[in-house]
Amino acid sequence: MAGKDTTVVTTGGGSWFLVGALLVVVAVGGYFFLGGEAPGAKDVDVSIELPKSE
């Protein structure tokens, strides 16, 4: 009598999850890189001054 075949075949769900997460990261990064602004973003003015030497 032959043994029972217990092979499990998966569809690669974990791989598709990683591909989807990467796609979201690229989309959000591209939005900000291409000039998109977050709601409520404010202008920030940074001034850096060196101390006066004596």
Q: Which residues of the chain have pLDDT under 70?
A: 1, 38-41
Question: Side chain identity at 16, as an amino acid letter?
Answer: W
Given this model, what pLDDT does residue 1 score?
58
Give the predicted TM-score (pTM) of the model: 0.50
DSSP-H helix ranges across the chain: 13-33
How many helices (H) and strands (E) would you count in the chain? Answer: 1, 0
